[in-house]
């Protein structure tokens, strides 16, 4: 197997060709769109780490305002639960 690296231009072309395929599902499409955005410099390939102190309040307790949202819960009738 050839171990040469592809240029960014070649990778972008590869992503464009892959995105034109009809057999892809949403995860495949998201992957190639994300790779393309990274190569174009629109997003960073490294996630910014959240400061662990951000999830705690001044007294050291877990800050519940960061956990507000809909979460999947298979035990409920609607499938989600809001906190």
Q: Which of 30, 48, 43, 37 is nearest to 8 (CA)?
A: 37
Q: What is the pLDDT of residues 15-64, one digit of tens each?
A: 999 999 988 899 999 999 999 999 999 988 887 766 655 666 666 665 55
What pLDDT does residue 65 have? 56
Per the DSSP assignment, residues forming a β-bridge with 62 are 56
What pLDDT does residue 36 have? 94
What pLDDT does residue 83 have? 47
Tell me the C-alpha distance between 3 and 26, whole Å: 29
Tell me the C-alpha distance between 70 and 79, whole Å: 10
Q: What is the pLDDT of residues 58-81, one digit of tens each?
A: 666 655 554 555 655 666 665 554
Other CB atoms within a 10 A radius of the CB of residue 32 amount to 19
Rg (CA), the chain: 20
More confident residue, 5 or 83: 5
The answer to whether the predicted template modeling score (pTM) of the entire model surpasses 0.85 is: no
**Which residues are CB-neighbours of 15 under 8 A, at least 6 positions away?**
32, 33, 35, 36, 39
């Amino acid at each position: 197997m050839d171990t040469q690296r592809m240029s960014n231009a070649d990778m972008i072309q590869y992503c464009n060709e892959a995105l034109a395929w009809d057999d892809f599902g949403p995860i495949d499409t998201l992957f190639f769109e994300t790779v393309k955005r990274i190569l174009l410099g629109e997003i960073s390939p490294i996630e910014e780490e959240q400061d662990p102190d951000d999830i705690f309040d001044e007294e050291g307790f877990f800050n519940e305002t960061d956990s507000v949202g809909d979460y999947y819960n298979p035990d409920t009738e609607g499938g989600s639960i809001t906190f």
